[in-house]
Amino acid sequence: MDYETPLFFRVMEYADAADRDVVDMVSGNPDWEPPEALREGLREYAELEPDRFQYPASEGLPELRAEIAARRGVDPDQIVVTNGAGEANYLAMARALERDAGDEILLTDPVYPYYPGKTTMLGGAQRYVATDDDGQLDPAAVRAAASEDTAAIVVNTPNNPTGAVYPESTMAALVDIAEENDAILISDEVYDHYDLSGTFASALETDSTNRIVTNAVSKSMAVTGLRVGYAIFPPELVDDARSRHMLVNVATTRPGQYAALKAFRETDPEYYERNRERLRERVETFTDALEAAGAEYTTPQGSFYVLARFDGYPGTLENVERLIDEAGVAGMPGEAFGDSRSEWLRFALVTPRVEEAAERLAAYFD
């Protein structure tokens, strides 16, 4: 089996090696502070007894699973705490394919590239459903593409890279389509705290045994390096997910789980609202500059990415490298996210230098 290194790493390596100052807008690593309670939790943990530095329960600390369950309205036994949302999605896709109810994974175009990569790794086949110009997914198009070969439908809301937020009607329809085809809807909701539109709806709002929801504290608490995520499974799928998690990872970081639990319990809603407001301001600053540069662009409803298209400058890896060398701004090539956005570039608004990056782009494309 051939594995392809994600373009994220190639772009980051190129930017790091550049012989000039570069504004990094490649990966979704928030530049703002994590909750203070999370830092306090890590400090507290450093003083605990030696036995607290040994293996935790493989499926996650019971207190953390109970806290997540209470927040999401599910049974704690449905939850597996994972090494970030990445492992949560891997476990979810594996369980969907292991049901022997098809070997095809329906993905959106554009798509977060780790989903097709995981599909290949797990021996599944990709099939794509195009979103509209705003990134919204038409359930009718998904229904037309789904069949008895469909093992799973994978969606991400709020979305990377389009910034689309799927409304409740879309999520409910996707659950229905999964049920109609004996498939699993896998809803990656890692950006749920960055809904800028007020229209976010979790797949958990539609009761079904044909959906798995994944999430993490990586983005919401600005700690992508902590690696604490979770997946919520239907009761009949959770046992084998636990076993796979144990065989692949044994368990998830115990200090990280402790700190995440403290942050869940003690972080005020104002923390999340401050970060959303920060993003609203950055979106306005960045898109105003793109407007001045004559670019076409998206205005995200959620997450923290903007897609931009400059006339005569398609979103290839070669052009991204040129932009690093000649403008000092590092983004992602649109071709990394599928065919439909190959003319575009994607920029992550997770740097305090957003205005500077926008000015550099405007000057470069003037």
Summarize pLDDT for 110-160 with one digit per residue, the tens: 999 999 999 999 999 999 999 999 999 999 999 999 999 999 999 999 999
> Does residue 160 contact residue 303 with C-beta atoms inside 8 Å?
yes
Q: What is the mean pLDDT of the chain?
A: 96
* Short-list 189, 114, 134, 179, CA closest to 153: 179
pTM: 0.97
More confident residue, 6 or 63: 63
Helix (H/G/I), strand (E/B), else coil: 4: coil
Whether pLDDT at 3 is above 80: no
Domains and CATH numbers, the chain: 7-34+269-364 (3.90.1150.10), 54-266 (3.40.640.10)
For residue 332, which phi and psi values (nearest 5 degrees)?
-110, 140
Q: Which long-range contacts (CB under 8 A, 24 or more apart) does 315-319 make?
A: 315/341, 315/342, 315/343, 315/344, 315/345, 315/346, 316/342, 317/7, 317/10, 317/11, 319/345
Whether pLDDT at 361 is above 70: yes
Whether pLDDT at 1 is above 70: no
* Short-list 345, 349, 348, 347, CA closest to 333: 345
pLDDT-derived band at 225 (thresholds 50, 70, 90) equals very high
Whether pLDDT at 54 is above 90: yes
